[in-house]
Structure 1
Amino acid sequence: MRHLRLAILALPVLVAACGNSRQVQNDEYYDDSRRARVAGRLSGNPDGLLILGTDRSSNREGGGAGAPGDGSALGVNAYLWRASLDTLSFMPLASADPFGGVIITDWYSPPAAQGERFRATAYILGRQLRSDGVRVSIFRQEMRNGQWVDAPVSAGTSTELEDKVLARARELRSQSAAL
């Protein structure tokens, strides 16, 4: 009985919420200035789109949106991105999203360790070159009875790879500053 009363009380609110709907025209959201920015981006204009209030063109120095002067528009720190690719290059690459900052490797079996394989996922977390700007997750499997079974990974493995990525990123930044 109590649930019925609540349903009856909620019904007018739901009906009122539906009554004020209207059809949205495309022109309300895509005016001429936005169309021009999209057209410019498709034609190779380096300014690109303004996403979530972030102007990428104002943060090109210091490895923010891309390496200085390279004209790229990465969504993450260019030095961390390149360093992550370099550090994980011994594993086959499954996918890489430079705008979202995610690198996923395919399974890799070290020659010295038959019966186990590893997979890594690196997340570039921002546009600044900071020690907390990269996270690496390692997955490990072992062959048991002809099946690959998930196995624990040493706690320090991810941290070691993150440290190597950061060291490589610092190296890349110092090399570009010397040019």
Structure 2
Amino acid sequence: MDRYILTGAPGAGKTTTARLLAAAGHTVVAEAATDLIEAAQADGQDAPWEQAAFCEAIAALQRDRQIAADALPGPVQYFDRSPVCTLALARFTNQPVGPALAAELDRIRTERVYRPRVLMLDLLGFVVPTAVRRVDLAQAQRFEDVHVQAYTEHGFTVERIPAAPPRARAALLHQLTCRESHA
């Protein structure tokens, strides 16, 4: 099975593109952090990413979702973020790397869980703030740099996906990954 990581700074259009891939019948594993933020906000916690245990919770959910995805159909899977993204978030928010995140980073490296090429969607030139996404464009650009550094440090090749309409990006991702998985 070929597992591809989709990443990018907040507001890059990653989740929108991932949803288009899913709508076209591809296996897509949803982003853990957004789901955890929305659940915490529904419980009255405004900024859960400020909690030291937040990155640990993301890493645990990412592990559970990745393992559960082994039962899903299709030779190609797209993951909306990975534990390396969680490492980037920890660094960006000055949170510690706890034992769950450290173990998950080690596991994905030693088990070679994901393809070594991460697909990074470039920023669109603007960021639309939401309750979950509270960064401006300058912060998103810095966060993007932290992602590139984290992925490079962990042995991934970062392939940049240029800004484009979501359908064009989804088509490009499908073309890149299907061609590679059939090679």
Q: TM-score, normalised by structure 1?
A: 0.24
Taking CA–CA contacts closer than 8 Å with sequence separation of 6 or more, which of the two structures ends up with the larger relative contact order?
2
Larger radius of gyration: 1
Q: TM-score, normalised by structure 2?
A: 0.24
Which has the larger helix fraction?
2
Which has the larger strand fraction?
1
